Amino acid sequence: MEAIEKAGAFENLKLRAENEKAVEREPFWKQKSNYKVYISAIFLLISWFLSEQYGEDHIYPIAGYAAAIIIGGYTLFLKGFKNLARLNFDMSTLMTIAIIGAAIIGEWGEGATVVILFAISEALERYSMEKARQSIESLMDIAPKEALIRRGHEEMTIHVDDIQIGDVMIVKPGEKLAMDGVVIKGASSLNQAAITGESVPAVKTVDDEVFAGTLNEEGLLEVKVTKRAEDTTIAKIIHLVEEAQAEKAPSQQFVDKFAKYYTPAIIVLAFLIAVVPPLFGGDWSEWIYQGLAALVVGCPCALVVSTPVAVVTAIGNAARNGVLIKGGIHLEETGALKAIAFDKTGTLTRGVPAVTDIITISGEEKHLIQITAAIEKGSQHPLASAIMKKAEEMDYDITGLDAEDFTSITGKGVKAAVEGVLYYAGSPNLFEELHSGMDSTIQKHITSLQTQGKTVMILGTVSEILLLIAVADEMRDHSRTVISKLNDMGINTVMLTGDNQRTALEIGKQAGVSEIKADLLPQDKLAFIKELRASHQSVAMVGDGVNDAPALAAATVGVAMGGAGTDTALETADIALMSDDLSKLPYTIKLSQKALGIIKQNITFSLGIKALALLLVVPGWLTLWIAIFADMGATLLVTLNSLRLLKIKK
């Protein structure tokens, strides 16, 4: 690391190990890098005073101005001369030529002022960038660096790097978890805002997954560590956010390409301004001064920082709100979305079937539910678990009854003997076969429930139907609101599902999506995303990050749900919503649109102010003062404009 810092000394590179704790910085005004600004400013003030006393051409003020130039600009000159030797014409090179030129033609005072203004603007730029990057440091400080661990019968506090997989971590109320793991003892509510952006605490009991950086609010927990310190969810988030901030956005790539041709063009223009008018009778000193001013105003600083500051700020803000955007390119593309396709199961719906209706045809409801639960205990089907859960919710004791001779009837249901009676539990098709037809009243009930997008299960015997149970995949709390917001934003919303048309239409109607596609296999979803891209250009796919991988990859932006719990979601998607909360989607689009707007404002303003200042050359009004204010003022304004992205909240 020392060798890399030394190699990058001309860029003032300062490195820190990925797992190293952020160093407590002294206040900005006390930082050593700012001392040169203070000292050179004092020399400048003294020189102004001396020039009033002795005149501008006297050795005393000139010596003072020279001292101010050398102290305030020595790092700038070092970079400038190095770049000049490599024929690399960047901001430092242009400033170096301009300041030395000003000294040669006797404009010592303006040269010194330009150096100090440049040093001040650099310091303010550093301050702004520090503010933008603090989002990463706040993430780094989320998880504690030590934890109380039990090994055998011994308890000890050790550093997270020394904790091993399988260790038992003891977390007291009010403490943060240092590692990811699984609860093996105790129950508590955990504030997971640091990871998922959700302020409502989540209740965790035995066998639940917990994350480093979350706050234990009330109970004592014992957690078995499942990941090493560098593999925890928060460590992955930090790593991915840092990678994302380093990745260049399309507009930044445009700026870099533009600056490559723009800077040499400015040098040629400045040379022509300095040389051509004097050849036709102009004053050499005056036009060389104009040429130097053009050189300063042409510095592409504002243009170069116009995009990265906005990207860094937006990605940091999103990470703090539980949304992981994996690069500037994805940030910009999200801001330009025209259509969003949603997977149904697990995205718009909870992905867990729940009992919605119970219709008793014959007998007592409680006893019939107990019989159904006793039979379904032996089944692995998701609908069986929905019935078991419903029986528990209704406080029906299901331990007293036992099912015997349990047999699965493939694709149709199950049968078993309870209290000596043979019962069947399964689909309407099973009972159509058993009874050679069905009573019209019961058939009406079944058709009505199916029209609502529900799956119907029947409990009965060989001779009669006793109970109808309707099960449906419940809509998520925020789905309807989120879809409504997206529709209001002018984004086309589509629901993709492998479910049948009838169920899909009902769920789609509840959600409020503008288009519904049902009976789709994974390859059909992929084909539809490609069609959508052809008609809308910029398309997002929202899925769970595991099943819909091909469609997520084919979309312009792949958005994965519940990134906190699945490594796959973190790895495969362009954007991961760290909690199972769709309401983060409109916030992410709003943030991206705002970032896109700010980047466009910054680029337009940077180029506009340059063009305006260069036009002042025509009447000969351009001065080094105006030039430095146009350049540095623009840089500060685009930086401050970008920092407005910190204010956007969910």
Q: Are 166 and 225 in contact (CB under 8 A)?
A: yes
Q: Please confirm, yes or no, whether 488 is among the known catalytic residues.
A: no
Instruction: Give the residue among 55, 192, 548, 153 at the shortest CA–CA distance from 346.
Output: 548
3-state secondary structure (DSSP) of residue 639:
helix
Q: Are 577 and 562 in contact (CB under 8 A)?
A: yes
Cα 12 from chain centroid?
28
Strand bridging mode 168-171 / 221-225: antiparallel
Q: In what order do the strands lie in the sheet with 323-325?
A: 323-325, 575-577, 557-561, 539-543, 339-343, 492-496, 515-517
Q: Taking the alpha carbons of 497, 501, 504, 505 in that order, is the dihedral positive or negative?
A: positive
* Residue 6 burial (10 A CB sphere; 0-12, 13-18, 19+): exposed
Tokens 């609101």 appear where?
481
Alpha carbon distance 116, 118 (integer Å): 5
Count CB neighbours of 141 within 10 A: 12
> What does the block give as tokens for 133?
């990057």
> What does the block give as tokens for 557?
């932006």
552 backbone dihedrals φ, ψ, rounded to 5°: -60, -40
Question: How many helices (H) and strands (E) are present in the chain, helices listed first?
Answer: 23, 22
Alpha carbon distance 146, 142 (integer Å): 12
Q: In what order do the strands lie in the sheet with 188-191?
A: 202-204, 188-191, 215-216
Q: Taking the alpha carbons of 469, 470, 473, 476 in that order, is the dihedral positive or negative?
A: negative
CA dist 617 to 101, 267, 272, Å?
17, 15, 12
Alpha carbon distance 225, 149 (integer Å): 10
CA dist 540 to 257, 283, 576, 628, Å?
28, 61, 12, 44
* Residue 445 burial (10 A CB sphere; 0-12, 13-18, 19+): middle
Residue 608, C-beta contacts closer than 8 angstroms, at least 6 positions apart: none
Strand bridging mode 215-216 / 465-475: unpaired
Residue 103, C-beta contacts closer than 8 angstroms, at least 6 positions apart: 66, 69, 111
Alpha carbon distance 50, 331 (integer Å): 54
DSSP string, 575-634: EEESSS-TTHHHHHHHHHHHHHHHHHHHHHHHHHHHHHHHHTTTTT---HHHHHHHHHHH
Q: Which of 180, 343, 499, 544 is catalytic?
A: 343
Instruction: Give the residue among 308, 330, 319, 1 at the shortest CA–CA distance from 140.
Output: 319
Instruction: Give the residue among 465, 506, 84 at the shortest CA–CA distance from 263.
Output: 84
Alpha carbon distance 36, 46 (integer Å): 15
* Residue 30 burial (10 A CB sphere; 0-12, 13-18, 19+): exposed
Instruction: Give the residue among 496, 488, 615 at the shortest CA–CA distance from 547.
Output: 496
Which positions are annotated as active-site residues?
343
